Copies of this chain bind each other. A is one copy, B any other.
Amino acid sequence: MALTEPTNRTSEADADVAVDAAPAAVATIYVCVTCRKAGEPDSEPRPGALLADATATAAQGSGVAVRRVRCLANCTRGPSVAMRTEGSWTYLFGGLDVGGATALVEGARLLAGAADGIMPWRGRPEPLKRGLIARVPPLDFQEETP
């Protein structure tokens, strides 16, 4: 499926930006483009959209795909970003700002390199520690019996 991802990179305004889509992306970052900073008045461009642009730029050449999404429903703690790889846990982060773009790509690469599908805490960029909202196991996950 990932092999058929679009490789159109002609416009920053595209709803989807696949970076280095051949070979398949090592990880996918979903940035909520409608997010605004919690408690702050509405403004355009939305902080989420700025974060998406910055993350797409930071991801160039990294093998990480960046996708813009309209709502991750984490509105009270935005700007919000999710990430996963095929078979990994899915991570959700909030309270990010544009400066978190590099951390997001770094975290996605950490996740892509984790044999157990869990992003290691050690070495995880600081914004992805304090901004952790939740994580969800892969579809076929089974907790080991104690």
Contacts and interface: CB of A to CB of B under 8 A. Distances in A.
B30 A141 contact: yes
- Per DSSP, chain A at the interface is loop
Q: How many copies does the complex hold?
A: 2
B143 A69 contact: yes
A145 B14 contact: yes
A134 interface: yes
Interface string A1-14: 11001100000001
B16 A143 contact: yes
A144 interface: yes
8 contacts: A1-B140, A15-B143, A16-B143, A30-B141, A74-B133, A80-B134, A90-B90, A92-B92
